[in-house]
Structure 1
Amino acid sequence: MTEKATFAGGCFWCMVKPFDQFDGIEQIISGYTGGHLANPSYEQVKSGHSGHLEAVEITFDPAVFTYEQLLEIFWQQIDPTDNEGQFQDRGPSYQPAIFVHNDRQRKLAEASKVDLADSGRFDKPIVTKILDAQVFYPAEDYHQDFYKKNPEHYLKDRKASGRDEFLDAAWNKADA
């Protein structure tokens, strides 16, 4: 039996590949969630006026790959101290968030956030929100599996974003 997990971590292009390499991950869809506009377009979301965040919806088999493992990967893809966007992508549609689908996910997400805050890894407060899952709208086809369809563009964008340098510095330093 599969479950869903939904994560917003800035540009959804950069949030697919880290999860897409593990057994038990059955599907990853790039899309939009958390807003007030039905069936938003990329342009509407990017404008910041739809209320949606760019996100990924992951279908996974918890008997093979657990929600706790997904949370661990999620935290290592974002700057959890920045609620104004992520890396070069600024604005409300790029805020990080965990959208929980049930009480168990909420408890695990909240515990992982506390653990991260208590770790001393970051000098600023962890501001990533934990929200109830809402309607998820798949993004346009050209956004799906972008890193596979457009590897050169994906790598160029990722390099320009500063994401990898930040993540390397944050996660490769010794634990506090």
Structure 2
Amino acid sequence: MKKSLTLALTSAVILFSTFSHAAKTEKAVLAGGCFWCMESDFEKLEGVTDVISGFTGGGKLINPTYNGNHKGHYEAVEITYDPAIVSYQGILDHYWVNIDPFDAKGQFCDKGPSYLSAIFVQNDEQRKLAEKTKAAVVAEFPNQTVVTPILNASTFYPIKGRESFHQDYYKNNPIRYNTYRWRCGRDSRLEEIWGERATH
């Protein structure tokens, strides 16, 4: 009886610890052009546990698709992270040095509304931190215009179904991905803006 009780208590503690850890994860939604690249850049960041490619920001248009209608939506990523390892501030700091905040037409070689950069905030605390980091970028580049907006979060639509190959594209198609990224000039432009802080 005592052994069974001890086993039950141990199992309960493990279950609680697992649930407690899972409950501590938080999410951030960011747009920075090609979601393949954003997924790659953020999955390398310590504390990030998952990155999903999808669309958001398109108002009333539901279930947008890559090859179909995604008018008004941004290509974006939903980042799940452990705030005990990386804070939302850390997520934003990593974000800025992985985008071109001055491009009002898109990002790098990809142009058009769906490739624009944006930070989607879910609450007042996220907005406060987003505005703080944006102000720091503005101050650092006084002769340029930072066009990346801070927007209220809306429904995030993961890429799925027949288009699910976009998830983890950089892992599953490394040669094609690396060729695309190089031809797009993403890393060279990031280094031009951010110098050694640029990550890739």
What's the TM-score, normalizing by structure 2?
A: 0.81
What is the aligned partner in structure 2 of residue 41 from structure 1? 65
From 170, 176, 189, give the equivalent of 1:153.
Answer: 176
Secondary structure of 1:99's partner?
Answer: strand
What is the aligned partner in structure 2 of residue 124 from structure 1? 144
Secondary structure of 2:125's partner?
Answer: helix
What is the aligned partner in structure 1 of residue 155 from structure 2? 135
Deviation at 1:74, TM superposition (A): 0.6
Q: Percent identity?
A: 51
Secondary structure of 1:16's partner?
Answer: helix
Matched, 1:100 2:124: no
1:146-173: per-residue Cα shift (whole Å, max 9, x none)? 1100000110100011111111111117
The whole-number CA distance in structure 2 between the counterparts of 1:69 and 1:126 is: 19
The whole-number CA distance in structure 2 between the counterparts of 1:159 and 1:152 is: 11
Gaps of 5+ in 2: 1-23
State which structure, 1 or 2, has the greater radius of gyration over its C-alpha atoms: 2
- Aligned amino acid, residue 158 of structure 2: P
Secondary structure of 1:43's partner?
Answer: coil
What is the aligned partner in structure 2 of residue 19 from structure 1? 42
Matches within 5 A, 1:8-87: 8-35=31-58, 36-44=60-68, 50-87=71-108
What is the aligned partner in structure 2 of residue 164 from structure 1? 187
Higher helix share: 2
- 8 A Cα contact 1:44 1:50, kept in partner: no
What is the aligned partner in structure 1 of residue 130 from structure 2? 109
Say what the alpha-carbon RMSD is for the aligned residues.
1.6
Count of aligned residue pairs for this structure pair:
170
- Aligned amino acid, residue 134 of structure 1: S
